[in-house]
Amino acid sequence: MRSIVLVLSALLLVGLAVGQGVQIKTTFKPETCTSQAKAGDIVRVHYSGALEDGKMFDSSRVEGREPIEFELGAGRVIPGWEKGIEGMCIGEKRELVIPPELAYGERGAGEGIIPPNAVLHFETELVSIAAGSGSGSGNVDGAAKPKSSGGGIDFGVIAIAAVFIGI
């Protein structure tokens, strides 16, 4: 009986470790929140991404780069971002820890820059929210569209490609 309890406990712990989902830590939240990001919104997000060893693989905060812009809920970024950005207020900052199954999985990305089965760490800041084509029209906060990000690896584009090739 005792061995059955130990086995079940071990299976439970493994299940929790594998199926944790995105870990979200809010590091800054504005005093007032007039709008929260939801599916269908066009969001602009500053980010820095790192591997578990702390090695940064991409950032929108380097000179010449702009925040990434995408429609939330449209599958244009990794699933961990979809979950981690939803509900954010403009100006809010979050740290996201994304397991491989909600990131790039067994294939990795960026020609080896993100290895297979990598857990990804992101620091994010929601810069703006605009109503998407599916959720009405008009700009929620008056933010302009970003310029080309230029330079670096645009992992938003990799995420879009990943959707099309079935990653």
Catalogue the active-site residues. Answer: 47, 57-58, 78, 104, 122
Helix (H, G, I), strand (E, B) or coil at 95: strand
Instruction: Evaluate whether 98 touches 109 at the Cβ level (below 8 Å).
Output: no
Q: Which residues contact 20 (CB under 8 A, 6 or more apart)?
A: 99
Distance CA 128, CA 56 (A): 24
Q: Which position has the token pair 């008056």?
A: 142
Instruction: Evaluate whether 126 touches 89 at the Cβ level (below 8 Å).
Output: yes
**Terminal CA-to-CA distance of the chain, rounded, Å?**
42
